[in-house]
Amino acid sequence: QSQLQESGPRLSKPSETLSLTCTVPGDSFTTIGFYWGWIRQPPGRGLEWIGILHDDGRPAYSPSLKSRVTISVDTSRTRLSLKLSSVTAADTATYYCAGFDNFDYAVEKWGQGILVTVSS
Amino acid sequence: QSVLTQPPSVSAAPGQRVIVSCSGSSSNIGNNYVSWYQQFPGTAPKVLIYENHKRPSGTPDRLSGSKSGTSATLVITGLQTGDEADYYCGTWDSSLSAMVFGGGTKLTVL
């Protein structure tokens, strides 16, 4: 049973902004000891870290995606968002919402993942 | 090209032992904790090992992790057909200020 739940459009057009949301059913992103973020996996390929929000609100992003990505959490801390701008077919992937242990960055919580296809 | 290097595949017979290696550098494995993940087709990964060698509840003790210098190792003994999956190592990279993963290793139980 996934502890995190991703939602959003499953199809994005090239050059547009991909937007996804993550929630914790019945809970919020206030669990002590975790950072929250996103990981993706292109079809048939390996895991790629996108970024996280530290508990002081400071983000850290993958250097290869930094210019295009924004991760944020709403003021009630119930929705974690991912925005990836100027998408191309190379951004087609399963996107996972994730909870990272704040001591060693181990990914202890995973969403079920959502496949987003970038195509015109 | 992944920052951490894993063999694309490993295989062994049921009951045997298999080793999955993960090679990095001083900016990642050399100075940070390593975690290992198991992924079955069509499902999200699951953490098997954290802080180099610690097992979460649910990880059987026939799986073990270790780290030496800039390399880490996942060892699975008493292989079972249910162990067939993809395995990934991951760690923080202090130079990149980013988390990095290995390219993944596909385990086949012959």
Per-residue pLDDT of chain A (120 residues; tens, 9 = 90+): 457 999 999 999 999 999 999 998 777 777 778 899 999 999 999 999 999 998 888 899 999 999 999 999 987 878 999 999 999 999 999 999 999 999 999 999 999 999 999 999
Instruction: Name the residue with higher pLDDT: B14 or A2.
Output: B14
Are the CB atoms for B104 and B22 separated by under 8 Å? no
Q: What is the mean pLDDT of residues B14-27?
A: 97
pLDDT at position B11 over 80: yes
Mean pLDDT of the B80-97 span = 96
Sign of the CA dihedral running B102, A107, A73, A13: positive
Q: How far is CA B33 from the centre of its chain?
A: 12
Using CA atoms, how far residue B105 sits from A8, A46, A108, B9, B38, in Å, is: 30, 9, 20, 5, 10
Q: Is A41 left (phi over 0), alpha (psi -120 to 50) or beta?
A: beta
Question: What is the share, in percent, of chain B residues with pLDDT greater than 90?
Answer: 96
Q: Is B44 in Cβ contact with A112 (below 8 Å)?
A: yes
The tokens of A48 are what? Answer: 């790629």
Nearest residue in chain B measured CA to CA from A107 = B47
**What is the C-alpha to C-alpha distance for residues B34 and A65, in angstroms, rounded to an integer?**
23
- Contact flag B99-A105 (C-beta cutoff 8 Å): yes
pLDDT reported for residue A1: 47
pLDDT at residue A2, as a whole number: 54
Cα separation, B29 vs B67, whole angstroms: 8
Tally Cβ neighbours within 10 Å of residue B23. 17
**pLDDT score of B48 more than 50:** yes
Q: Which residues pair with A48 in a beta bridge?
A: A40
B85-93 and B98-101 as β-strands: parallel, antiparallel, unpaired?
antiparallel
Interface of A with B (CB under 8 A): 2, 46-49, 51-52, 60-63, 96, 100-101, 103-108, 110-113
Say if residue A96 is exposed, middle or buried (CB neighbours under 10 Å; 0-12, 13-18, 19+): buried
What is the widest separation between alpha-carbon atoms in chain B?
A: 40
CA distance A88 to chain B (A): 19
Contact list in A for residue B56 (CB cut-off 8 A) is: 108
Which is more confidently placed, A57 or B90?
Answer: B90
- Mean pLDDT, chain B, rounded, equals 96
Classify strands B34-39 and A48-53 as parallel, antiparallel or unpaired: unpaired
